[in-house]
């Protein structure tokens, strides 16, 4: 096919599939790049983009819109210049109201299933720290570009909690079994260059603009790949993990609720929250 015909066909299909986004997002900015039709979803919940029920619900909605509109791809990034996301909002887990916690955990499961299993390609432009749930969102994407001198990892054990099995499977899909075991048992946070060395990220960037440029370049790899072939291949690799959670969804919610409400776990969270606050006071 002639290059000009290819580009015309691509433009036509892009116009007919232009995603329509709600302008009502409070915690997200959503924009479509006119050059390649890739959507950039920017997390915008100051100060640290902690993932509470509202933010998770909005991410879930935008992922549904992108799938419906047959988006050619999505980049996930942050409006903060030092935090991609601080992971799950600890306030959703500290002394939780059981009904609210169930909704919160359900929304997290939804986001994981939609992002990890998206038919469209995804990249994370990690322009700040990405602990725990932040690392999870980044690992759900197919490609990760991270700005230098930040931290990323599943540090749950440092908080006295345990990464659920579907978090673990996401890391196993990214780095080796050996590195996953060492990282998880020690709650290791990797500096950007260490993350690159272990394969937790794919590229380093000097700043956010560089990260976005490199993330955009990732999608060029799929220009000549039929989307259906791409999506089926991704599903062959990731689909069984998602099926496992679908089958055990209710049990996962109940188990997490009963573990998180244990007095020892609550004490651990309180201690961790106090550390975060003290850090601020001793820096002042
Ligand atoms: C055997 C028991 C089994 C139990 C099983 C239970 C299974 C449940 C599994 C749960 C899995 C959870 C995964 C998670 O994501 S837990 C969250 C982990 N997150 C972290 O550890 C990150 C904590 N935050 C930080 O390290 C820093 O804030 C950082 C992101 C590096 C940014 O630093 P900085 O820019 O210096 O900002 P501050 O630290 O001053 O923070 C600003 C304010 O934001 C509050 N904060 C920070 N992180 C969170 C968070 N995750 N949730 C809620 N709030 C957060 C912080 O306290 C500051 O608040 P304030 O201004 O009021 O002092």
Would you call 133 a catalytic residue per the annotation? yes
Would you call 156 a catalytic residue per the annotation? yes
Would you call 43 a catalytic residue per the annotation? no
| Residue 19 pLDDT | 55
| Residue 24 pLDDT | 84
Q: For 47-74, what is each residue's pLDDT tens digit? A: 999 999 999 999 999 999 999 999 999 9
Among the options 155, 189, 212, 216, which is catalytic? 155
- Neighbouring residues of 170: CB distance < 8 A, sequence distance ≥ 6: 112, 116, 136, 139, 140, 241
Compute the C-alpha angle 118/148/128, nearest 5°.
55
CA of 86 to the centre of ligand 1 (A): 5
| Residue 284 pLDDT | 66
Name the residue among 86, 79, 26 with its Cα closest to residue 51.
86
CA of 284 to the centre of ligand 1 (A): 19
**Atom of ligand 1 lying closest to residue 86 CA:** 30
Contact (CB, 8 A) for 49 and 28: no
- Domains of the chain and CATH, by start: 28-282 (3.90.226.10)
Residue ranges of alpha helices (H) inside 224-262 are 227-247, 249-260
Would you call 155 a catalytic residue per the annotation? yes
Q: For 222-260, what is each residue's pLDDT tens digit? A: 999 999 999 999 999 999 999 999 999 999 999 999 999
The model scores a pTM over 0.90: yes
Q: Could you give phi then psi for residue 43, rounded to 5 degrees?
A: -70, 135
Spell out, as residue ranges, where the chain has pLDDT lower than 50.
1-16
CA of 269 to the centre of ligand 1 (A): 10
| Residue 2 pLDDT | 38
**Atom of ligand 1 lying closest to residue 80 CA:** 35
Characterize 208-236 residue by residue with b for buried, 16 or more Cβ atoms within 10 angstroms of its Cβ, and e for exposed: bebbbebbbebbeebeeeebeebeeebee
**How much is the ipTM here?**
0.98
Q: Whose CA is nearest to atom 3 of ligand 1?
A: 161
Pocket of ligand 1 (CB under 6 A): 47-48, 50, 82-83, 86-91, 129, 131-133, 155-156, 159, 161-162, 164, 256, 259-260, 265, 276-277, 279-280
CA of 20 to the centre of ligand 1 (A): 33
């Amino acid at each position: 096919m002639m290059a000009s015909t290819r580009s015309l066909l691509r433009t036509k299909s892009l116009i007919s599939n232009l995603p329509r986004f709600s302008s009502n997002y409070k915690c997200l900015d959503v924009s479509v790049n006119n050059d390649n039709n890739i959507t950039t979803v920017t997390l915008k919940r100051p100060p640290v983009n902690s993932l509470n029920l509202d933010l998770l619900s909005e991410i879930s909605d935008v992922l549904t819109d992108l799938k419906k509109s047959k988006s050619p791809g999505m980049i996930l990034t942050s409006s903060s210049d030092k935090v991609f996301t601080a992971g799950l909002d600890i306030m959703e887990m500290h002394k939780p109201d059981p009904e609210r916690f169930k909704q919160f955990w359900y929304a997290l499961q939804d986001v994981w299933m939609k992002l990890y299993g998206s038919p469209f390609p995804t990249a994370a432009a990690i322009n700040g720290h990405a602990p725990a749930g932040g690392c999870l969102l980044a690992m759900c994407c197919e490609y990760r570009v991270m700005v230098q001198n930040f931290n990323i990892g599943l540090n749950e054990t440092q908080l006295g909690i345990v990464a659920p099995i579907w978090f673990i499977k996401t890391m196993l899909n990214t780095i080796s079994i050996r590195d996953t075991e060492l990282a998880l048992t020690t709650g290791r946070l990797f500096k950007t260059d260490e993350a690159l060395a272990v394969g937790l990220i794919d590229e380093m960037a000097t700043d956010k603009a560089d990260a976005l440029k490199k993330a955009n370049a990732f999608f060029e790899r799929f220009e000549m790949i039929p989307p259906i072939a791409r999506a089926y291949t991704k599903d062959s690799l990731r689909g069984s993990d998602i099926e496992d959670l679908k089958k055990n969804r209710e049990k996962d919610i109940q188990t997490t609720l009963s573990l998180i409400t244990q007095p020892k776990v609550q004490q651990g969270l309180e201690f961790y929250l106090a550390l975060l606050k003290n850090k601020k006071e001793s820096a002042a």
